[in-house]
Chains A and B, each alone.
Chain A
Amino acid sequence: MKYLNIAAIAVLASVAAAPALAHGYAKGALSIDHPWARETAPGQTVGGAFMTINNKGKQDDRLVSANSAVAGEVQIHTVSMTGGIMKMRQLTNGLPIPAGKSVTLKPGGYHVMLIGLKRPLQRGASIPLTLHFSRAGDVKVELAVQAVTSSAPMDMRHD
């Protein structure tokens, strides 16, 4: 409960400090900041989603899977660059969220991949996504869909 309060205060504080679009979620020791996705083109069946996951607890957690009504399948991926070659791989064992740490999913690194999109992700839309954590359980978030040209959540940008 204590952690939830801290998380709630943190979320409130970030909402107060940032422009209107800032949004965050909390459950147990976890809080999730600014979940967002890039808009996709008509016919494009795959999209990437990004966020920061904070673990304020004393025990490690793990993002094991996710699902969304707009996608046939959701996977957790990592991107690496080796000798100028981009490689994307599924994290089949999920993404560890160590105790006391924050893990940021961002372009060029970890992301949630929405596969088999039933409709394009349109700029300005809100997309439901449920994240499944091994310890904290399910966390429902709304992805804010931003322009494809975004490289960071809009509410974090200063331009």
Chain B
Amino acid sequence: MTEPDIVTVESGKSGASGLRLVLWLLVGLAAITGVAIAFGRQQPAEQSTQIDLGGPFKLTASNGSPYSEQNLAGKPFAIFFGFTRCPDVCPTTLARMARLRQALGKDGDKFAIVFVSVDAGRDKPAQVGAYTQLFGTPIVGLTGTEAQIAAITKEYRVFFEKVPIAGGDYTIDHTASVFLMGPDGHFQSIIDHDENDQSALAKLRRLIA
């Protein structure tokens, strides 16, 4: 019975290299998943239930009163981070959220739209309030101290960075995704900046289901 032995050895060898390949594929997959999560581009909502994102926060509402995650308890919400002097992506995103809410009809008020400023220096409650009022739908506009904003952006893994522009002014690079949070305050899914309305609506319907 020497022949089967040889066969066994050979298949063992190819099995080892096959296993190595699988392991490398897993490493690659893990790396891709890690990058995807790090950049907040998690696509399917089903996969994302284990992701620990969000949490308690202390900020200030546009009327100047304290506002925390407790104010949202029991209600799903869509949360977006930006700044009022952002001329492009922020109004585009908030306008879209307003439009999607409208598309949901009477279910549209089953979730809150939350806008958190990452510009502690310039966005005082009054500015945030005037800004969110432009969109023709109730939007919870929040701002806070630098430390408070640092805390909530860390929880939501939101990137932001001030970038000086000519003339002594600055703009802010920031994560442009909308995070959908369930009524228990847990992360459910993300609406990406470049995601189509149909897909975004489906996620919102799941959020309020």
Contacts and interface: CB of A to CB of B under 8 A. Distances in A.
Interface of A: 38-48, 72-73, 75, 77, 79, 81, 83-90, 92, 107-108, 111, 113-116, 147-151
Interface in B121-138: 126-127, 130-131, 133-136
A48 B84 CA distance: 12
Interface stretch (B3-11, B71-79, B107-115, B167-175): B167-175
Contacts, number: 111
Contacts of A47: 87
* Interface residue range, chain B: 35 or more
A90 B91 contact: no
Q: Which 8 A-B pairs have the closest CB atoms?
A: A48-B87, A83-B39, A41-B130, A149-B95, A86-B176, A46-B85, A148-B134, A86-B89
A44 B84 contact: yes
Contacts of B176: 81, 84-86
B135 A43 contact: no
Interface in B78-114: 84-89, 91-92, 94-96, 98-99
Nearest to B84: A44
Contacts of B174: 85-86
Contact of B41 (A40, A41, A84): A84
B127 A41 contact: yes
A107 B134 contact: no
